Amino acid sequence: MSESGTTSLRYLNGRKVNDHMSLFPAQRTTFLPGGYMGKILRVDLTNGTLKDENLPEEPILRKFIGGQALALYILLKYLPLNATPFGPENIVVMMTGPLTGNGFTPGGTKMTAVYLSPLTGTTLGRGATSGYWGTYLKAAGYDGVILTGASTKPVYLYIDEGKAELRDVGRFWGLGTRATEDRMREAVGHQDAKVLCIGPAGENLNRAAMLANDYNHFAAHSGGAVFGSKKLKAIVVHGTRRPTYRDKEKLVDAGWRWRGTLQQHNVQKKKTKYGAGEAWGALNNLNWRSTELSPAHIKGFDQNDVVLRPCFQCARMCPWDATIGEGPFKGTLLHFNAGGEWLDSFFNLGIKGNSALYLAERINDLGIECSHFSCGAGVALEAWEKGLLGPDKTNGLKLEWGNVDAVEKLLYMAARREGWLGNLLAEGPKQLAEAIGGDAPKWAVHTKGGTPAMHEWRPMLGQMLRELVASGGMKPQGGGSVNPPPDLRYREKWGPLGRDSADGWARSQVLSEQYRQFTGIFGGCWFAQMHQKPDGLNSIVDAFNAITGWNFTMDEALAAGHRSMILQSLFATQRGWIADFDWQDVGPRFLEPIPDGKYKGFTIAKWLPDLIYEYYRLSGRHERTGRPFKETLDRLGLEEFTPWSQEASQL
């Protein structure tokens, strides 16, 4: 049962503090803006205690808002500097935003979780998910959840109409994500309850284990591994409450305008699309050694029975289910989310057509982030091809390109850390390549130990810069654009940028990261953010203002996004990361010249490290350390972090 109270957590910027310094007031003295439920549930898994905390006061909410920024601010306050990713001292902070669950706009679906990344050990881990879970967390009465400690036995957390309890998970431990969702709903007696859970990969601490919810949705980037280390199988939420808003007329207007910008998905697209790389004509094949795009990649897709599955009140229609209509896996039911990384992941291993979709369903049920597995398995298959890996290390499997049976077995080995190879696949491509030895480290694709979103980004300057400067433990944000978004042309007077020149791309990345970040911390989904259409950003800011009662300008929204960027750097800086790692600690294959096709010979490497240096300078951080300058902290209202500024590091 949830208990009212405000016992504080134990750290401030990694150091012990007294209770009176808590962020969470015993009694609020400032008004609660619209869009917030007003409560965070704090769960101590070690002691089995649960307490309600009031949200921080209005000035803190206005500064950090929700999602990644507010969650990360809390994490910065209370995570010890000597924390380890799988130690009980690691903390998971999960936050929605004011847009989440509002029901009047598309894209109001996001929940974001932050923690110390198991992929890097020094940078921020961040997983974000859409669907319905975040909406139902608020319906249950909470804006967020803070998880501390670790249970001695597997448990799940059940939150229903403002009451919470930890329950023994029992026979559900060991189940895949699909069965876990079904069984959890049966266990709590509410078929409309929403389940966020881990599969076998999380239970066995695969470093890239995901959180899964609502069948079609996944918060990737290691949140599932941290849940597993805490013996937390799932969080089940149910409730009937609705968040408030301040101006319904303006909210309805902003929602209609936002909806009018959406580019909707359709069934035909799901039956004919190669994935994201189709847009620029390149897929990753054979461990990033070919960019071929051919009809064989999507053979049989047109015979599948596809059903679109919208997120809460969103007409974009990104997620989808399908039943395979031909081939050896005919009749298999599939559940997919908005991205297509899971498709490219198996193209990368030489697997095409409905066999790729079948394996994508398997990896989602096991709960493994697809790029982590594919980049590791790609190294293993290439090592087999070149004689560096034999059956003595593969449990007898023949690791041949396109071998569906072998790759499926590798998935189960990676999820359960079975054998020498399964254990190293769970660790990551960098670790596997180093263990194989010889030339294998040259074949790895990774960024600071994490892996890029699984698309053939190498021809795309903006997206490559985004992948390199991301934390390594989270989905990259930004990506730049050839021209500034229409809603920002009142201040941005550049473009079009060239694809064969680095000029302007650092500025474009900084800007795109700012508007991606503010959409996320508002509680909005990037897939519903149509930034290149008129009103694509203005409608989001107007909806946010109508909900909260605040009156953010576009410049203030961009500053909020920038603030979140800087917090991300501060978190990593405190734990030993420096910006030079962004170009020094990268898998060599990711920076090789493209081997074939219309982009043959292209690589971002010829502009490194200068392009990364420029990105950090333009965002108010030192180009080599990544530490923010004091002027940047002062301008963004982050003066309390001055001891971690670039100037302070030189004292």
Tens digit of each residue's pLDDT (9 = 90 or more) over 519-544: 999 999 999 999 999 999 999 999 99
Which residue ranges does the chain devote to CATH 3.60.9.10?
Answer: 3-238
Rounded mean pLDDT of 451-455? Answer: 93
Q: What backbone phi and psi angles, to 5 degrees, belong to 18? A: -90, 160
pLDDT over 80 at 6, yes or no: no
Stretch 325-352: mean pLDDT, rounded?
Answer: 94
Residue 15's pLDDT band, with cuts at 50, 70 and 90, is: very low
Partners of residue 93 on adjacent β-strands: 114, 146
> What is the rounded CA–CA span in Å between residue 411 and residue 342?
13
Which single residue is written with the structure tokens 């306050």? Answer: 77
Q: Predicted confidence band at 478 (pLDDT cuts at 50, 70, 90)?
A: confident
Residue 365 has pLDDT above 80, yes or no: yes
Q: How many CB atoms lie within 10 A of CB 385?
A: 14
Q: Which structure tokens are listed for 201? A: 């990969």
Q: What pLDDT shows up at residue 89? A: 98
Distance, CA of 453 to CA of 456 (rounded, Å):
9
Residue type, 118: P
- Give the helix/strand (H/E) hosting 557: helix 554-573
pLDDT > 70: what percent of the chain? 96
pLDDT bracket for residue 275 (50, 70, 90): confident
For residues 64 and 67, give the distance between their C-alpha atoms in angstroms, rounded to a whole number. Answer: 9
pLDDT in tens, 369-416: 999 999 999 999 999 999 999 999 999 999 999 999 999 999 999 999
pLDDT tier, 5 (very low <50, low <70, confident <90, very high otherwise): very low
The string of DSSP letters for 609-650 reads: THHHHHHHHHTTB-TTT-PBPHHHHHHTT-GGGGGGSHHHHT
Residues 496 and 157: their CA atoms lie apart, in Å, by: 50
Where in the chain are all domains bearing CATH 1.10.599.10?
Answer: 461-649
The yes/no answer on whether domain 250-420 falls in CATH 3.30.540.10 is no
Q: Where in the chain is the domain with CATH 1.10.569.10?
A: 250-420
Give the integer Cα–Cα distance in Å for 3 and 53. Answer: 9
Q: Report DSSP letters for 455-515, one per residue.
A: S--TT-HHHHHHHHHS-SSB-------SS--GGGTTT----PPPTT--TTHHHHHHHHHHH
Please tell me whether the peptide bond between 609 and the residue prior to it is cis, using omega within 30 degrees of 0: yes
Is pLDDT at 338 greater than 80 in this prediction? no
Confidence bin at 273 (pLDDT 50/70/90): confident
Structure confidence at residue 474 (pLDDT): 65
The string of DSSP letters for 568-603 reads: HHHHHHTTT--TTHHHHSB-HHHHSPP-SGGGTT--
Q: What tokens were used for 616? A: 């950090």
Asked whether the beta carbons of 388 and 437 are under 8 A apart, the reply is yes
What is the average pLDDT value for the chain, to the nearest integer? 94
Cα angle 29, 31, 32 (rounded to 5 degrees) comes to 115
Four-residue CA torsion sign, 562, 222, 458, 431: positive
pLDDT at site 22: 82
Tell the CATH topology of 3-238.
Aldehyde Ferredoxin Oxidoreductase;  A, domain 1 (3.60.9)
pLDDT digits (tens, 9 = 90+) for 553-570: 999 999 999 999 999 999
What are the backbone angles phi and psi of residue 158, rounded to the nearest 5°?
-120, 125
pLDDT, residue 174, reads 98
Half-sphere CA count of 22, side-chain side, radius 13 A? 17
- 96 within 8 A of 110, measured Cβ to Cβ: yes
Classify strands 144-148 and 155-160 as parallel, antiparallel or unpaired. Answer: unpaired
pLDDT surpasses 60 at 577: yes
Check whether 132 has a pLDDT greater than 70.
yes
HSE toward the beta carbon, residue 2, CA cutoff 13 A: 20
Q: What pLDDT is stored for residue 286 in this prediction?
A: 98
On the question of pLDDT at 341 being above 60, the answer is yes
pLDDT tens readout for residues 75-87: 999 999 999 999 9
- pLDDT at position 11 over 60: no
- Whether residue 471 is predicted with pLDDT greater than 80 in this model: the reply is no
461-649 to CATH, choices 1.20.1440.230, 3.30.1120.10, 1.10.599.10, 1.20.1560.10: 1.10.599.10
